[in-house]
Amino acid sequence: MSEIDGALAAERGAPVDVVVVDDHPLFTRGLSLLLPGLSGGRVRVVGTTDDASAAAALVRRHHADVAIVDLHMPPPGGTRAIAAIRRADPMVRVVALSGLAEADAAIEALRAGAAGFLPKTADPESLVRPLLAVLDGWSVVPEALLRQLLEEATPAGEQTIADQLTADERRLWRLIAEGASTVDIATTLHVSERTTKRLVAHLLRRLDVTTRVEAAALAGRVGLEKGSTGHTRAAGGWAG
C-alpha cells in the first residue's frame, strides 16, 4: 500500500465531529444520543445550540466536520446560519433539516452552502443513514426535490459549459455527478483529499454553483457525456 493509500484509508475511519443547531431540545438530545451509537462510535456530537446566530462560532470553537441545521429557527434563521458557517469554514459539511416539505426553502439552503437537505421527522433514527452518507462525502436530498432540480429549465448558455472545461475538469464533474465521495475522487485522480477539495471548489466556481448537488443537477440538464466512470446520475439523490 502506498503512503497516499495508507493515509486515505486511515482518514476514512477517522472520527467525525458534529454540531447540532436546533431549537427543539428533545430532537437535539435524540440526535446526540443516537448518532454515536448507530455510527459505531464514528460520530461525536461535540456541541449544540438553539441560537442560529451562534452557529458559526460553535463550529469554529469545536473545529466541527459537520453541522446539522434546522431551517426553521428564530431570526436570523437557519439559512443565514448555514451561510455564516460556510463563510467561517468552507470545508464544513452542512445538512439542512426542515419539518415542512418546502422545495423553495430547500433550494435556498443548498444555495447558501448546505451539502444536503433532509426532512425532519419525529424519529431522529430515520435520519442516521442519510446523515452518515453526508459524512462519507455524499450530498443528499429527497428524491422529489432532486427530480425538481433536474427538471428545472436550462438557463441560456448552459449547453456550452462542458465545452469550456478541460478534459480533467469534465472528468471531475462526472465523478461529482455520479455521487463519488471526496475519498473516492482522491483515489480515482491519485491526489490527496486536500487537493481534491481544492479541485472541487474550483470546479464549482467554474460552473457558477455552490454545492455538489447543484453541480450534479446541472450535469443532468446539460447532458454531460458519459465517461469511463459510467452513466451520469445526480449526486446523493436520497429516496428514503
pLDDT at 123 over 90: no
- pLDDT per residue as tens digits for the range 90-105: 889 999 998 776 777 8
Q: Is residue 145 part of a domain?
A: no
Are 154 and 122 spatial neighbours (Cβ–Cβ below 8 Å)?
no
Of 237 and 13, the structure prediction assigns the larger pLDDT to 13
Q: Is residue 7 part of a domain?
A: no
My answer on whether 92 and 186 are in the same domain is no
My answer on whether 124 and 19 are in the same domain is yes
Q: Is residue 123 part of a domain?
A: yes
Q: How far apart are the first and last CA of the chain?
A: 37
Domain range enclosing 224: 150-238
Query: Which grid cell sits at 32?
Result: 446526540
Cα 57 from chain centre: 20
- The counts of H helices and E strands in the chain are 12, 7
Within the chain, strands assigned E span 16-21, 43-49, 66-70, 93-98, 116-119, 141-142, 237-238
The domain that holds 190 is classified in CATH as: 3.40.50.2300
Of 131 and 7, the structure prediction assigns the larger pLDDT to 131
C-alpha dist (Å) from residue 198 to 26, 157, 176, 204 = 38, 26, 14, 10
My answer on whether 155 and 206 are in the same domain is yes
CB atoms within 10 A of CB 72: 17
Give the per-residue pLDDT at 175.
93
My answer on whether 56 and 108 are in the same domain is yes
My answer on whether 38 and 118 are in the same domain is yes
pTM: 0.61
My answer on whether 162 and 132 are in the same domain is no
Average pLDDT, the chain: 80
Torsion angle in degrees (nearest 10) through CA of 70, 73, 77, 81: -40
- What's the total number of domains in the chain? 2
CB atoms within 10 A of CB 190: 10
Dihedrals φ, ψ of 20, to 5°? -120, 125
Residue owning grid cell 463550529? 59
